[in-house]
Amino acid sequence: MSYLVRDIELADLDQLVAIEVELFGATAWNRDLFLDEISRIPGSRWYQVLEISDQIVGYIGMATMGTTADIQTIAVIPIQQRHGYGAMLLGLALTEARNRGITEVFLEVAVENEPAIKLYESFGFAQISIRPNYYGPGKNAYVMMRQVGEA
């Protein structure tokens, strides 16, 4: 099965929102939020989609500031989960961070999202704090961080 990883385009936004709603329900990003993110200062954002057979099956976004970065979003559609695509996207983001001279990468993850937490830990992310109600009332998030080595 062949795949393509490429920059997010405006034409992708409706598909991305549909995936968001399916995966994240009430906390899903809307079209305006995606548009705002990809329209930010050139070079301060990095957003990629993963296509299989011309269908978007996943995506990742990262914001950078100075020597730090934050994984803003990462998602893979349910039917394609547990095939290594999330790991591939995260690995690409960490390579991009290294290439940009980033030294620390942060992310937030729902405390009950055990598969994602295990993925992040497998890449060297460690929990550094908790954000209460980050995903809504009673829905906390771990803040995780990873050092990035030099290229």
- Taking the C-alpha atoms of residue 98 and residue 143, their distance in angstroms, rounded to an integer, is 20
- Taking the C-alpha atoms of residue 151 and residue 131, their distance in angstroms, rounded to an integer, is 31
Catalytic residue list: 108, 120
Identify whether the C-beta of residue 47 lies closer than 8 Å to the C-beta of residue 6.
no
Instruction: Report helix angle 114-122 to 85-99, nearest 10.
Output: 40
- Taking the C-alpha atoms of residue 111 and residue 140, their distance in angstroms, rounded to an integer, is 6
| Residues 6 or more apart whose Cβ sits within 8 Å of residue 43 | 64
| Residues 6 or more apart whose Cβ sits within 8 Å of residue 67 | 101, 102, 103, 104
